[in-house]
């Protein structure tokens, strides 16, 4: 099929429905009526010979072909947008867009306060959306444009994904302040005597600390698995469960929750957090600005934790 046979505006509608998960939200983003969006979708369905989206309890679920197509469509739209802006001076104050960020639990506490404060002052029309993606889905979501920027541990990827290190941290243990383990000398054996709470977005599988322990032929006992650090910390403060957490997260949690921070009793490599984005946005002025603002805000957030401000 030649591109001359397709109204390219239909791909803008396709992108909006894919991003928003439904015709109603897509119509609001595009400032079109719902019938107009539905009509555009039907035209694209007929042209491409695929349903593209199936109605479900979650909204409009993309078909496999839509999943395959979205990356190409978004790269083409981004390139066209950059071409239109060539020669124009980038002005954050005039930037009117929505950025989608994927950050891990409580990492957004280090990032968002400064990011929003800074950007509201210099780019008040920008909107930020924080999303959650399973780690194995992040690269696909960057390629498809579902997310613009992600922060996570080192993930294996190909040349279509750009990345750079944000910061390093170390693993610590959090225990309630009158935990029986603190009455003895803190050691690896003492840590392994007690059940742990594991923070993970997955239903099963080992965490970073489990992998490190297994290399020494060791295994910890689990008493709880939860996707939320704050809930895990409250549980640890009211039980004998031990919570392992990065030091910066631990310091934030102990500002409001009565927990004792202890070193992880095993020498480990530093925990590294990286920033990820798709190569198609690498030279886009707005995306360069977004990455700069993210790094600046994170540095401010880490400094605030250091000073006990947040």
pLDDT over threshold 90, residue 150: yes
Tell me 270's DSSP state.
P
- Closest alpha carbon to 275 in 154, 140, 173: 154
Which pair of tokens denotes residue 104?
């891990």
- Count of Cβ atoms closer than 10 Å to residue 188 Cβ: 13
* DSSP one-letter string for 272-299: EEEEEEEGGGTT-HHHHHHHHHHHHHHH
| Angle ∠(287,291,292) on CA atoms, nearest 5 | 115
Going by pLDDT thresholds of 50, 70 and 90, the confidence category of residue 88 is: low
**pLDDT tens digits for 170-218?**
999 999 999 999 999 999 999 999 999 999 877 888 988 999 999 999 9
Fold of domain 171-269:
D-Maltodextrin-Binding Protein; domain 2 (3.40.190)
Fold of domain 92-166+272-306:
D-Maltodextrin-Binding Protein; domain 2 (3.40.190)
Tell me 269's DSSP state.
P
pLDDT over threshold 80, residue 102: yes
Which residues make beta-bridge pairs with 131? Answer: 102
- What is the percent of the chain where pLDDT is above 90? 50
pLDDT for the residue 250: 92
pLDDT for the residue 200: 85
* DSSP one-letter string for 190-243: HHHHS-EEEE-SSSSS--HHHHHHHTTT----EEEEES-HHHHHHHHHTSS-EE
- What is the percent of the chain where pLDDT is above 70? 94
pLDDT over threshold 70, residue 37: yes
Fold of domain 3-79:
Arc Repressor Mutant, subunit A (1.10.10)
Going by pLDDT thresholds of 50, 70 and 90, the confidence category of residue 80 is: confident
- Closest alpha carbon to 290 in 301, 303, 278: 278
- Closest alpha carbon to 104 in 152, 58, 137, 169: 152
Q: How many residues does the chain have?
A: 310
Backbone angles phi and psi of 51, in degrees to 5:
-65, -30
Tell me 202's DSSP state.
S
Q: By the 8 A CB rule, do 199 and 226 touch?
A: yes
What is the residue whose two structure tokens read 């983003």? 29
Q: What is the mean pLDDT of residues 125-153?
A: 87
pLDDT over threshold 60, residue 71: yes
pLDDT over threshold 80, residue 24: yes
Residue 205 buriedness (CB in 10 A; 0-12 / 13-18 / 19+): exposed
Going by pLDDT thresholds of 50, 70 and 90, the confidence category of residue 310 is: low
**pLDDT tens digits for 211-263?**
999 999 999 999 999 988 999 999 999 999 999 999 988 998 998 999 999 99
pLDDT over threshold 60, residue 1: no
Flag whether the pTM goes above 0.85.
no
| CATH 1.10.10.10 location in the chain | 3-79
**pLDDT tens digits for 290-308?**
999 999 999 998 888 777 6
- Count of Cβ atoms closer than 10 Å to residue 117 Cβ: 11
Taking all residues of the chain, what is their mean pLDDT, rounded to a whole number? Answer: 88
| CATH 3.40.190.10 location in the chain | 92-166+272-306, 171-269
Backbone angles phi and psi of 39, in degrees to 5:
-65, -45
Q: By the 8 A CB rule, do 58 and 21 touch?
A: yes
């Amino acid at each position: 099929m030649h591109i001359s046979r397709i109204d390219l505006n239909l791909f803008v509608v396709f992108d909006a429905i894919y991003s928003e998960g439904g015709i109603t939200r897509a119509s609001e983003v595009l400032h079109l009526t719902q019938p107009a969006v539905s009509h555009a979708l039907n035209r694209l369905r007929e042209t491409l010979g695929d349903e593209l989206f199936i109605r479900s309890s979650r909204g409009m679920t993309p078909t496999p072909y839509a999943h395959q197509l979205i990356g190409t469509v978004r790269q083409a739209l981004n390139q066209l947008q950059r071409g239109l802006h060539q020669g124009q001076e980038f002005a954050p104050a005039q930037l009117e867009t929505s950025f989608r960020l994927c950050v891990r639990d409580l990492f957004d506490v280090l990032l968002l306060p400064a990011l929003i404060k800074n950007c509201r002052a210099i780019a008040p029309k920008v909107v930020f959306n924080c999303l959650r993606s399973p780690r194995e889905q992040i690269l696909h979501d960057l390629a498809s444009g579902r997310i613009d920027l992600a922060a996570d541990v080192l993930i294996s990827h190909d040349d279509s994904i750009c990345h750079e290190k944000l910061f390093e941290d170390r693993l610590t243990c959090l225990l309630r302040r009158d935990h029986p383990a603190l009455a003895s000398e803190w050691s690896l054996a003492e840590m392994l005597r007690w059940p742990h709470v594991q923070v993970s977005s997955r239903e099963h599988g080992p965490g970073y600390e489990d992998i490190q322990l297994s290399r020494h032929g060791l295994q910890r006992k689990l008493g709880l698995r939860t996707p939320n650090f704050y809930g895990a910390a409250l549980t640890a403060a009211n039980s004998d469960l031990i919570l392992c957490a990065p030091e910066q997260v631990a310091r934030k949690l102990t500002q409001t929750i009565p927990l004792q921070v202890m070193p992880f009793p095993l020498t480990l490599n530093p925990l590294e957090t990286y920033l990820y984005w798709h190569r198609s946005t690498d030279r886009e002025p707005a995306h360069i600005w977004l990455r700069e603002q993210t790094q600046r805000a994170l540095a401010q957030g880490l400094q605030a934790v250091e000073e006990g401000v947040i």
